[in-house]
Amino acid sequence: MLRGLLTSAMGEREVVKVKRRVSRNVRDQAFEGTPSGPRRFGWKPADPKAGRKVNEKLEPEEAKVLREAVELALKGKHWATIVKHLDDSGYLTVRGNKWSTTPVQYMLTNPALCGYRMINGELVHDRKTGKPVIGKWETVCTPEEWRRLVARCNVWFNPEGDTASTRYREKVKREGRKDYRGIAEATRRFLLTNIARCGYVKDDGTMCLAKMKGMGPTGTNKQDRYRCGDPRCNKVSRRADLMDDAIKRMVIKVLEEQYSELVPQERSWYGEETLNALLAKQQEIKDAYKAGEIGLSEYLEFKDDNDAQVAASQKDRDDFYAEQAAKNFLAGFSAERWEKEFDMRQRRTAIAIVLQAVIVHPLPQGRSRSSRFDVDLLEPVPRKRY
């Protein structure tokens, strides 16, 4: 029986070894920057006769579609717009499936797009220079563009800054989900949900301020409406098309004044060298500890300090690209762009940059529900900086 246990234990150890060998192999390849893995959309499959590795050369037709998708994402287009673009290209995913939001988000944040490699969620850095390893394959975007794509997935041009996305990430973590990029982007057809708020004055003299919900025609109402979302109040409602139009005009005017002269910036983050040096140092000390050149206490002392600096540095970089992306999104704004280029998501984002809320005041007493739409009953609440 003992022998049996021994041999089975040995068998397991062998399995572990093999696994390690496999993962080491992947790791080595990543450090060397050689193309590997399953074929990616946009690249050619392996061709041993021609000495071509998988994912080494671009497949021109697919790469063109992929590049277009990258550009749409960089412009801040709605994911649904990007998915539709891929659908319309006539191509399926490499697995032969129809396109959908989550895989497209994965595809467009894959570091391989710009030649970078990632293992366990971290970029592979050169041990000596600390710089990300650049793979030996053709790419479809620059590292800066890739950073912006990642920033978009993390921050969503969220005018409230990092807080919402951080909160979201924490929620995802709590729920044990791995993928915080797959943020559900509900197809919302109402322009002012989350912005319009109920202005009904309660008995205590304060306003209801509940968010108003968009709703389709009901009963005698033939048009879409916004209605107070608090079931205890539910007292204010207004025609959606007329409200959308009034707010749209106002926002376009403000944005034209603020952004029409602005030229988009494509600057690289100023701290790249510092971060690379920190990462190189990290590896150096780790190696020194492994080789027994320094003791554990020295190592720990350095490690905590270095980890904190690396984390602060990486956050700064992410913030930088997110902020740049948010500014570029509105650079050169015009009413024409709003009408022709902006989809629903971009319009909502643009509105949220200018406005904190729009209070919808109830009709004054005695005024008929069928009376003319009154813009004066809408009270825009600008964001602080406007």
Stretch binding Zn ion (CB under 5 A), from 100-108, 214-222, 225-233, 327-335: 225-233
Name the segment binding Zn ion (CB under 5 A); options: 144-152, 209-217, 273-281, 337-345: 209-217
Q: Which is nearer to Zn ion, 201 or 300 (CB)?
A: 201
# binding residues, Zn ion (CB under 5 A): 7
Report the nearest approach of Zn ion to the CB of residue 228 (Å): 3
* CB nearer to Zn ion: pick between 197 and 317: 197
Q: Tell me the closest approach of the beta carbon of residue 116 to Zn ion, in angstroms.
A: 50
CB of 116 or CB of 200, closer to Zn ion: 200
Residue 229 Cβ vs Zn ion, minimum distance, rounded to whole Å = 8
- In the bound state with Zn ion, the residue whose beta carbon lies nearer, of 162 and 230, is 230
Taking a C-beta distance cutoff of 8 angstroms, is the pair 123, 116 a contact?
yes
Kindly state the smallest distance separating residue 235's Cβ from Zn ion, in Å.
Answer: 5
User: 150 or 358, CB closer to Zn ion?
Assistant: 358
How many CB atoms lie under 10 A from the CB of residue 118?
14
- The site map against Zn ion for 144-183 (x = CB under 5 A) is ----------------------------------------
From CA 73, how far away is CA 284, in angstroms rounded? 38
Cβ closest to Zn ion, residue 187 vs residue 218 = 218
Q: Indicate whether 198 belongs to the interface with Zn ion (CB under 5 A).
A: yes
**Sign of the CA dihedral with 132 first, then 99, 84, and 214 last:** negative
In the complex, the smallest distance separating the C-beta of residue 211 from Zn ion, rounded to whole angstroms, is: 9
Taking CB under 5 A as the criterion, the residue among 30, 228, 279, 352 binding Zn ion is 228
Our CB check for Zn ion shows the closer of 125 and 197 to be 197
Q: Which of 210, 350, 358, 359 binds Zn ion (CB under 5 A)?
A: 210
Nearest CB to Zn ion, comparing residues 229 and 380: 229
- Check binding of 208 to Zn ion (CB under 5 A): yes
Q: Which stretch binds Zn ion (CB under 5 A): 92-100, 195-203, 295-303, 344-352?
A: 195-203
Rule CB under 5 A: choose which of 200, 269, 302, 329 binds Zn ion. 200
CB nearer to Zn ion: pick between 131 and 239: 239
To Zn ion, the closest distance from the beta carbon of 94 in angstroms equals: 50
Distance in Å, CB of 198 to Zn ion, minimum = 3
Which region among 189-197, 204-212, 215-223, 306-314 touches Zn ion (by CB under 5 A)?
204-212
Q: How far is the CB of 196 from Zn ion (least distance, A)?
A: 11
54 Cβ contact list (under 8 Å, min separation 6):
35, 36, 37, 38, 39, 43, 44, 45, 46
Note whether 233 binds Zn ion by CB under 5 A: yes
Cα distance between residue 42 and residue 69, in whole Å: 11
Binding residues vs Zn ion (CB under 5 A):
198, 200, 208, 210, 228, 230, 233
